[in-house]
Structure 1
Amino acid sequence: MAEITVFDRIKRLADKQGKSIVDVEADLGFSKNYLYKWKKSVPSSDKLAKVADYFNVSTDYLLGRDTKETKTADLADEDTVFTYEGRQIPTEDLEYMKRLLRGGK
Structure 2
Amino acid sequence: MKNKTDEIVRRRIIDLRESKDWSQSELARRVKLDNSKISKIESGIRKVSATELDLFAKTFDVSTDYLVGNTDNPNSADDDMNTVDLDKALSEEGMAMFDGQPLSEEYKKALLTMLRAEKRGE
TMscore range, shorter length: 0.5 to 0.7
Q: Distance in 1 between matches of 2:71 and 2:77?
A: 14
Give the total of aligned pairs: 72
Runs in 1 of length 4+ with deviation above 6 angstroms?
none
Asked if the contact 1:60–1:66 (Cα under 8 Å) also holds between the matched residues in 2, the reply is: yes
In 2 relative to 1, CA 53–8 (structure 1 residues): closer, same or farther, beyond 3 Å?
Answer: same
Residue 19 (str. 1) matches residue 22 (str. 2): yes
Q: 23-32 or 35-44: which moved more?
A: 35-44
More helix as a share of residues: 2
Q: Give runs of aligned pairs for residues 56-75 of structure 1, distance below 5 A.
A: 56-71=61-76, 73=78
Residue 33 (str. 1) matches residue 36 (str. 2): yes
Using the TM superposition, give the Cα deviation of residue 13 of structure 1 relative to its aligned residue in structure 2, in angstroms.
0.6
Using the TM superposition, give the Cα deviation of residue 52 of structure 1 relative to its aligned residue in structure 2, in angstroms.
0.4
In 2 relative to 1, CA 70–23 (structure 1 residues): closer, same or farther, beyond 3 Å?
Answer: same
Using the TM superposition, give the Cα deviation of residue 41 of structure 1 relative to its aligned residue in structure 2, in angstroms.
4.0
What is aligned with 1:10?
13
User: RMSD of the alignment, in Å?
Assistant: 2.3
Extract unaligned runs of 5+ from structure 2.
Answer: 79-122
TM-score (norm 1): 0.57
2:56 pairs with one of 44, 51, 59: 51
Asked if the contact 1:7–1:36 (Cα under 8 Å) also holds between the matched residues in 2, the reply is: no
Extract unaligned runs of 5+ from structure 1.
Answer: 74-105
TM-score (norm 2): 0.50
Identity %, equivalent residues: 24
